[in-house]
Amino acid sequence: MLVCSKEESGVSYQLLRVAWLLFDYDKKTHFYGTDKRLFEAEIHLIVAIKENPGFHVAALAQKFGVTKGAVSQLVQKLQKKGMVTKQSDPDNQSKVLLRLTTKGQTAYSTHASFHREFDEKVNKLLEEESEDHVLFLKRFLSTMAQDIESREE
């Protein structure tokens, strides 16, 4: 049985191929149902703003492990694209809260729809597999992810 091989039929080759295809897809800009192209970091900031109401720039920077300046630059880009607005925090005038515009809401919804469709495709591929096979795949992918994360530390 061929498990690890440089051949195209090897499991490790196919796993890397899927990873690179997903990575390549994520690097590209997408419209997400709007008239403006968004980069990966921009759509993820939109998701964070939607899913963390009341977050301000500092909280988002902490969540993503980046500087406040990096988040501020992304917010400015999203403002120019009509995706985000800034509002003063009524409880703390020194903080600015971020809100999605209608266009930002559309981008969020389209992105969420993409994730639902991806989940459906994966579930459809697995629906005829035994529970043991699905559990094995979950454990395998989880172990691989943990191994990769531990190498980054």
Each residue's pLDDT tens digit, 48-80 = 999 999 888 999 999 999 999 999 999 999 999
The two three-digit tokens of residue 128, written as one number: 């005829």
**For residue 25, pLDDT beyond 50:** yes
Mean pLDDT over residues 2-24, rounded? Answer: 78
Is residue 95 very low, low, confident or very high in pLDDT (cuts 50, 70, 90)?
confident
Mean pLDDT of the chain: 91
- Residue 6's pLDDT is 55
Q: Is the pLDDT of residue 129 over 90?
A: yes
What domains sit in the chain, N to C, each tagged with a CATH number? 1-29 (no CATH), 31-152 (1.10.10.10)
Confidence of residue 7 (pLDDT cuts 50, 70, 90): low
* Distance (Å) of CA 147 to CA 26, 64, 138: 22, 21, 14
Helix (H) or strand (E) holding 37: none
Measured CA to CA, the distance from residue 49 to residue 57 in angstroms comes to: 10
The backbone torsions φ and ψ at residue 138, rounded to the nearest 5 degrees and listed phi first, read: -60, -50
- Per-residue pLDDT of 108-118, as tens digits, reads 999 999 999 99
What is the reported pLDDT for 82? 98
Residue among 41, 21, 20, 19 nearest 30 (CA): 41
Residue 37 pLDDT? 97
Distances (CA, A) of 119 to 24, 123, 133: 19, 6, 17
The pLDDT value recorded for residue 1 is: 42
